[in-house]
Amino acid sequence: MKTEIILSHTEIEKKVQEIAKDLDREYDQKNPVVIGIMKGALYFLSDLTKEMTIDLQIDIMSLSSYGNSNTSSGVVKIVKDLDIDINQRHVIVLEDIVDTGRTLAYLKKYFLDKNAASVKTISMFKKSGAQDQQVEADLVGFELPNYFLVGYGLDYAQNGRSFKDIHKVLELD
């Protein structure tokens, strides 16, 4: 896979620190549940919660809408559900990237149906000009060009996820 860096890890680190400070202020004394949507949000979940100073709990969910394809199937499936009961809890959902917004729309409804006290959605990245936007994230770290991207949790068929920077995929092998 040939790639080109379009966003540095240093820029990502600064944004994570800003988001952590904002969440510390907003959720002070609320003990939120921070939920990372795997596998893509793993890096964001880890970095963000290490920067936060408030009491919080962490859980993960695994969903599927892409499989090993580079286009979404349009159907969101739960592969691994939560271990923590979120009844009357403040929920912060972390996503790696918002494309169509289908996953966030699904998750917001899912958590509200489970009687969450509140649901805040945060996506580290958003593709600009994405079509069929069903719901916007409450907070987005960076808006990026509508290319296929890898790095900082983003992948192509499970490859490129561990790059520190965000790369635009130029050519697939």
The CA-based angle 69-129-145, given to 5 degrees, is 70
Which pLDDT belongs to residue 72?
53
Whole-angstrom Cα distance, residue 101 to residue 135? Answer: 5
Query: For the chain, what is the domain count?
Result: 1
What tokens appear for 103 in the block?
A: 């996953």
**Does residue 122 sit within a domain?**
yes
State the CB neighbour count (10 A cutoff) for residue 34. 23
- For residue 139, the enclosing domain spans 8-145
Nearest CA to 45 among 30, 28, 57? 57
Which pLDDT belongs to residue 172?
87
- The answer to whether 135 and 104 are in contact (CB under 8 A) is yes
**Does residue 163 sit within a domain?**
no
Tell me the mean pLDDT in the region 152-161: 94
- If residue 103 lies in a helix (H) or strand (E), which one and from where to where? helix 102-113
Q: What is the mean pLDDT of the chain?
A: 91
- What does the buried/exposed string (b/e) look like for 57-78 if buried means 16 or more CB atoms within 10 Å of the residue's CB? ebbbbebebbeeeeebeeebee
Chain position carrying tokens 């009491």: 55
**Does residue 47 sit within a domain?**
yes
Q: Could you tell me what percent of the chain has a pLDDT over 90?
A: 76
**Does residue 151 sit within a domain?**
no
Catalytic residues: 99
**Does residue 167 sit within a domain?**
no
CA 157 centroid distance within chain: 17
Query: Between these two residues, 104 and 118, which has the higher pLDDT value?
Result: 118
CA 37 centroid distance within chain: 6
Whole-angstrom Cα distance, residue 33 to residue 35? Answer: 6
**Does residue 161 sit within a domain?**
no
**Does residue 27 sit within a domain?**
yes
Least confident of 17-31, 106-120, 135-149: 135-149
State the CB neighbour count (10 A cutoff) for residue 118. 15
Which pLDDT belongs to residue 75?
80
Tell me the mean pLDDT in the region 13-20: 98
Whether pLDDT at 117 is above 90: yes
Which pLDDT belongs to residue 161?
95
- The answer to whether 61 and 42 are in contact (CB under 8 A) is no
Tell me the mean pLDDT in the region 53-79: 79
What's the alpha-carbon Rg for the chain, to the nearest Å? Answer: 15
Which pLDDT belongs to residue 134?
66
Confidence category of residue 74, pLDDT binned at 50, 70, 90: low
Whether pLDDT at 155 is above 80: yes
- If residue 171 lies in a helix (H) or strand (E), which one and from where to where? strand 166-171
- pTM of the predicted structure, to 2 decimals: 0.91
Whether pLDDT at 160 is above 70: yes
* CATH code of 97's domain: 3.40.50.2020
**Does residue 78 sit within a domain?**
yes
Tell me the mean pLDDT in the region 121-134: 79
